[in-house]
Amino acid sequence: MVSKVLVIEDDQDILGLLARHLQDMGHEVVLAQTGERGLDLARADPPDVVVVDIVLPGKDGRWVIRELRADPRTRHCQVVVTSMLDPGDIRVDDVDGMLLKPFDRAAVWAALGRVS
């Protein structure tokens, strides 16, 4: 099944890598480099899945997740968190999956396969 996946990631290299892996999986991919832009895109055309980095310039991934869950247009979206932080340090509620950096194609496929 093809899902629409919104990726919110400030690192251009990681953004490109995630986009390639997700497109290889057959997903439609939308990209944003800030939390604010990602939330605007999600509200305008809600995706099936949001992959969001915890550490972003400006509004961080935690803010994005809170806003997604508070909005009736986006609360249904599955959320996968990406981070280089230790999983015990992330402390994010109400997410559907986690993708730890650095990751490879198999990790992306596993994380998205569980939620999409």
Global pTM reads 0.92
For 64, other C-beta atoms within 10 Å of its C-beta total 27
User: Could you give the domains of the chain?
Assistant: 4-115 (3.40.50.2300)
Instruction: Compute the distance between CA of residue 24 and CA of residue 89 in angstroms, rounded to an integer.
Output: 31
Q: Is the pLDDT of residue 87 over 70?
A: no
Q: Is the pLDDT of residue 2 over 70?
A: no
pLDDT band at 44 (very low <50, low <70, confident <90, very high): very high
Instruction: Compute the distance between CA of residue 35 and CA of residue 73 in angstroms, rounded to an integer.
Output: 17
What pLDDT, on the 0 to 100 scale, is given for residue 85? Answer: 64
Instruction: Find all residues with CB under 8 Å of 24, minimum gap 6, and list them.
Output: 105
